[in-house]
Amino acid sequence: MPLPPRGTVIHAPDAPIEPLLADAGRTVAVLGYGNQGRAHALNLRDSGVRVIVGGRTGSEARKRAESEGFASFDLAEAASAADLVVIALPDEVHGRVWGETLASAIRPGQVLGVVHGFSLHHGEIDPPPGVGAVLVAPKGPGRTVRERFLMGQGIPAIIAVHQETEGPDSGPDAASLCLAWAAGLGCTRGGSIVGSVADETDTDLFGEQTVLCGGLTGLILAAFEILVEAGYPPEVAYIECCHEAKQVCDLIYHRGLAGMRAAISNTAEFGIDHAAPRLVNDRVRAEMRALLAEIRDGRFAERLKTDADAGFPDLHRHRQATADHPIEQAGRTVRNLMPWLAEDDAKVEASGASDAHHRGHGGARRATEDGQD
Ligand SMILES: NC(=O)c1ccc[n+]([C@@H]2O[C@H](COP(=O)([O-])OP(=O)(O)OC[C@H]3O[C@@H](n4cnc5c(N)ncnc54)[C@H](OP(=O)(O)O)[C@@H]3O)[C@@H](O)[C@H]2O)c1
């Protein structure tokens, strides 16, 4: 049965996990055991699903999966043994892994799953007719997916069926495995939203570029530099323009923009209307539209692929520039005033929800505490 229309909220009763359960003879292969893969493998296993892990030979992540009780296999072997194959590898390697390894291992009736739509949407993965393709994109980093699951909660996901399985012997339909996957992950406990692969890919990239990662980084750095240029101490500039972002983001996360306004001082609230229209003016809106156009027509994907294929020289240069920026020294001084920040991280690590083991594996992504990847 197809998924309901885009925008429909799916709750637990609409998403039975039974089609994926070990009792139904099903197996899920999670390829990759990093930020997302580990959370998917652990949550699905805790939900009663038989999970195996796939990885490249000698992979550190694969060793971790084995130490956490999973049988692990080479990518093709794991993929060919599963009903649902969850590709939890960095987006930039999907095309190569698909072409060199997975395309010949996958047969009609199996269902491929992605955690973010980029590679399916841009044709890096091109499943042949008969092979199902679905998306379950939890809207948060793997650490949060695992943490909330362990708390009996779940974060929302965008879910989509890109292509249905076909044929009389095709086994379970892709839509029912998609719903069961979201359920086993904990993402229907609160509710997940039906979208398309294009919806998820375009909005995810646009949000991270204009607001969450690009916009925020640009604003914080510019504001820090202007205060320091004007003679204010760097540590004070850091507190005002970077550290405090979390307090405001927490308010927005919990209560929305109107709720945030209600919780801040009249002075701060008056400042919103004084500054926001001047900062985000017609020129900025035009740039946002241009960024959206580049996302939609594939120009951004092309640029990312070119850099990834060359070993990410641009990404590494900018990563190093951020590490070398004076804001980092000021940030270290300020964060040392709050030793509980490191203690909080250590607690998460001890709880088993952490992704910290996998940071710095060379991918383009970094997990954040409780929000966007
Ligand atoms: N980061 C997040 O929280 C987040 C949030 C939402 C969606 N997503 C999506 O989740 C997917 C996975 O991202 P991620 O951040 O979880 O990745 P990640 O943490 O970088 O994990 C990558 C995994 O893939 C393996 N790997 C890396 N390169 C490989 C290659 N060339 N061949 C085979 N295995 C390779 C790594 O193991 P070894 O290096 O040990 O082999 C590791 O197990 C992506 O589609 C991403 O967009 C991520």
Q: Is the CB of 131 under 6 A from ligand 1?
A: no
Q: Is the CB of 127 under 6 A from ligand 1?
A: no
Structural element, H or E, at residue 262:
helix 245-263
* 234 contacts 330 by C-beta, under 8 angstroms: yes
pLDDT of residue 352: 59
- Structural domain 11-195, CATH architecture: 3-Layer(aba) Sandwich (3.40)
pLDDT tens, residue order, the chain (373 aa): 899 999 999 999 999 999 999 788 899 999 999 999 999 999 999 999 999 999 999 999 999 999 999 999 999 999 999 999 999 999 999 999 999 999 999 999 999 999 999 999 999 999 999 999 999 999 999 999 999 999 999 999 999 999 999 765 667 899 999 999 999 999 999 999 999 999 999 999 999 999 999 999 999 999 999 999 999 999 999 999 999 999 999 999 999 999 999 999 999 999 999 999 999 999 999 999 999 999 999 999 999 999 999 999 999 999 999 999 999 999 999 999 999 888 887 877 766 555 544 433 333 333 333 434 4
Using the structure block, give the residue that is written with the tokens 């929800």.
353
Domain ranges in the chain with CATH number 3.40.50.720: 11-195
Q: Which atom of ligand 1 is found nearest the CA of 362?
A: 20
pLDDT by residue (tens digit) across 333-345? 999 999 988 888 7
Catalytic, 274? Answer no
Among 267, 121, 145, 256, smallest CA distance to 195 is for 121
pTM, 2 dp: 0.89
Q: State the distance from the centre of ligand 1 to the C-alpha of 243, rounded, in angstroms.
A: 28
- The dihedral region occupied by 8, where left means phi > 0, alpha psi between -120 and 50, and beta the remainder, is beta
**Of the residues 11, 40, 94, 116, which is catalytic?**
116
Q: For residue 45, give the nearest of 30, 57, 34 by alpha carbon.
A: 30
HSE (CB half, 13 Å, CA atoms) of 200? 31
CA-nearest residue for atom 36, ligand 1, is: 32
